[in-house]
Structure 1
Amino acid sequence: MNYDGGPQPRQVPDSRLVWRAAEHSDLDAWAALIARTAAVEQPVWFERRADLEQIMDSRNNPAAANTILGFDPQGIARAYGRITKNRDGDKAVGSGCVDPAWQGTGIGTALLGWLEQRTRDRFAEDAGDAGDVVPRPRLRLYMEQQHQHQAALFAGSGYGIVRYYNEMHRPLSEAVPHAVLDPGLELVTFGPALHEPVRLAHNAAFEDHWGSEPRDEEAWGFVVNDPQARPDLSGVVLDRSTGTVAGYQLATHDAEGALTRGFREGYTELLGVRREFRGRGIAQVLLADAMRRFAAAGMDVASLDVDSENPTGALALYVKMGYTAVNRSMAWDKEIEPATR
């Protein structure tokens, strides 16, 4: 296995495939694997080549150490896994897939073992070599409710559901709800000059959200440079007197996904309001503004995802604004024995 100097896993996930870390030359094969899997499993969203290019360029989670691809004897990519983790974070997040033609053969179980081992190693690496106590490693996995084969794998491997999320849609053929900003606030379009102020506002707004961790500049770069990002469909509310970002709505549009799903969707990737500005109708204004922007751009549906136990009452707000739940996803966690030093 070639890891370009990155950490070696303690064992090859499954000897039927040739395993190594993802390289730039693998982008087409990697994207093709994900597309083949998505064609069968029909997820709401899946990574495409442009997304994988971003992954390859990560400094905090370099692909050479945190990805793995499995190739069959003909050189076709059949499985992949990936770990991401913030250095001071309390969890790693795993993702991956197995080619439908290879599912049910034990490859998924073997790949999950690699994700757990890599999680164990990342926690040890991030604790440093100065005798720091290694926190108990935790691996988080996400799945859509429809993918019951994944649920069976996770449950059988010791994972438990820790959170539910609702995907919500709102037809844009309906009238946009009336919402007005306080006189001391103004709504502007998101742009480069607001990248850093909105990052800081996001970290502040999500301090009280379950599972959220601060986003550093690289992580925020994945948001603002997302191939599907639509700053023209995104709004920011500013305090007129100070210029402080009070709230924001950052949107994306998946043009390729519209072809398979049968409708054009304006998706609110992130919506947040700083705690000191809550209770002033800012979220309503941002959502109404998003609906108008989406409709003007020819979208059929406004959509978003929400934590079913969001402490800010977001779910009730979205229902009030006309959104209805159409799909559900889950987060699964497992605590893993730490690596020995």
Structure 2
Amino acid sequence: MFPAGFANRPATIDDAVAIYDLMAATEMRWHGRAEVVPDAVAADLQRPELDLTRDTLVVHAPNGDLAGWAWLHLGKRAQIDVHPAYQGLGIGTALLDWAEARSRAEGSEWLAQAVDDADEAGTGLLRSRGYEVLATNWLLERPIVTPGPRTVPAGITLTPYDEARAHDVHELIEAAFSEFQQRRKSYDEWARLTVERATFLPAASTLAYAGDELIGAVVALDLADTNEGYVEQLAVRADQRGKGVARAMLDDTCAEFHRLGRQNCILWTHSGTGALGMYERLGMRVRRSTTVYRANV
């Protein structure tokens, strides 16, 4: 049940900007800065398997403000956000009720949701429903200094992103991520979330080769009007890890960020990857974190 006077309906792609503004407002409240990527919402709303009518809900206040929203991915993963001006009214609870009901309708036995660790109300709500910690996500940052001589492992060649290798990049990344994710994205879904985005930055997206074999990839995004460069994905083929390929690719990407005037490189990593220690050795440090909670529904 939503508060009296509040209306709800499925989202449309035209809501993407308003949803982004809502998410940015929550980050400003908790962290003093907005770090959500501007076209992230539009990319999510255009996932090939997402049915907006079935899988999304937006809530409007009586004055027309977007007060909250939720979406459900494949019946198993939810995202719920409530604008700071409308928190404490029960909107988050109502959206969680909707997400759990939709998850059950999809035949899912469980539902997971990531909550910012600064969101005490959201964390408390999930805990009260019996949700337990599944994983942790960390936002990492590394200052970008004036690039010096870069070390590339022997036998490895680095190049900017090559559109002709898009399917190879997809396969490499999904194979690497499948070590901790339960499902692989199709090429269409992966491309919609990465290389087809308006913010995709090919010049800063580095590929690594051993001979003619693609063995590493970085997908970078352009955060316009900020002093930061964003790494959306970084992967190295399993048999090539521990050789310095990740460091070489990250240094190459950061050099392009530096050329564009960026002062920091940021990326998210997941506890399931076991990569936090590696990134810390590459000079990155934790800026903030979110926790993934899961419960049977």
Instruction: Flag whether TM exceeds 0.5 (same fold).
Output: yes
1:113 aligns with 2:82: no
SS at the partner of 1:288?
Answer: helix
Q: Is the 8 A contact 1:176 1:288 kept in 2?
A: no
> Counterparts of 2:118 and 2:232 in 1: how far apart (Å)?
21
1:333 aligns with 2:294: yes
Q: Residues 197, 267 of structure 1: CA spacing in aligned structure 2 closer, same or farther, 3 A cutoff?
A: same
Report the identity percentage. 23
Q: Residues 47, 19 of structure 1: CA spacing in aligned structure 2 closer, same or farther, 3 A cutoff?
A: farther
> Counterparts of 1:37 and 1:153 in 2: how far apart (Å)?
17
CA RMSD of aligned residues (A): 2.5
Cα deviation code 1:11-53 (max 9, x no counterpart): x6555422211134544544444444444344653364x4444
1:214 aligns with 2:214: no
Q: Is the 8 A contact 1:13 1:114 kept in 2?
A: no
SS at the partner of 1:108?
Answer: helix
Q: Residues 236, 57 of structure 1: CA spacing in aligned structure 2 closer, same or farther, 3 A cutoff?
A: same
Task: Name the structure where strand makes up a greater proportion of residues.
Answer: 2
Q: How many residues align?
A: 295
| Structure 1 residue ranges without an equivalent (≥5) | 1-11, 86-90, 125-135, 259-263, 337-341
| Structure 2 residue ranges without an equivalent (≥5) | none
Name which of 59, 68, 72 aligns with 1:70: 59
Q: Is the 8 A contact 2:24 2:35 kept in 1?
A: no
Q: Residues 273, 35 of structure 1: CA spacing in aligned structure 2 closer, same or farther, 3 A cutoff?
A: closer
Name which of 84, 95, 100 aligns with 2:73: 84
Name which of 311, 323, 340 aligns with 2:284: 323
TM-score by length of 2: 0.88
> Counterparts of 2:12 and 2:239 in 1: how far apart (Å)?
45
> Counterparts of 1:235 and 1:178 in 2: how far apart (Å)?
14
Q: Is the 8 A contact 2:48 2:189 kept in 1?
A: no
Equivalence map 1:1-341=2 (5 Å): 16-27=5-16, 29-42=18-31, 45-46=35-36, 48=38, 50-85=39-74, 92-122=76-106, 124=107, 136-173=108-145, 178-183=150-155, 185-209=156-180, 211-221=181-191, 222-240=193-211, 243-256=212-225, 258=226, 264-308=227-271, 310-311=273-274, 314-336=275-297
> Counterparts of 1:83 and 1:300 in 2: how far apart (Å)?
35
Q: Is the 8 A contact 2:115 2:291 kept in 1?
A: yes
> Counterparts of 1:145 and 1:177 in 2: how far apart (Å)?
38
Residue 192 of structure 1: CA displacement? 1.8
SS at the partner of 1:224?
Answer: coil
